[in-house]
Structure 1
Amino acid sequence: MATEQELSDFLHSVEKRAFKRSLYHVRDEEAALDIVQDSMLKLAEHYGDKPVNELPMLFQRILSNCTLDWFRRQKTRKALFSNLSDFEGAHDDDADFDLLEAYAGAPNEESVESAEDEVRRAQILHEIEDEIAALPARQREAFLMRYWEEMDVTETAAAMGCSESSVKQHCFRAVQKLSKALKAKGITP
Structure 2
Amino acid sequence: MENEELVRVLSGARHDWLNQLQLIKAHLALNRIEQAETVIEDIIVTAQNEAKISQLNAPDFASFFLTFNWYPHSYHLDFEVTGEQQTLASMDQVLVQLAADITGLFDEYAGSMIQNHVRVMMNLSDDEIQITFDYSGSINCEQQLHTAIRDLTMKPYMTLVQNEVTPYEAVATIRLDIKELNGG
Give the TM-score, by structure 1 length: 0.34
More strand by share: 2
More helix by share: 1
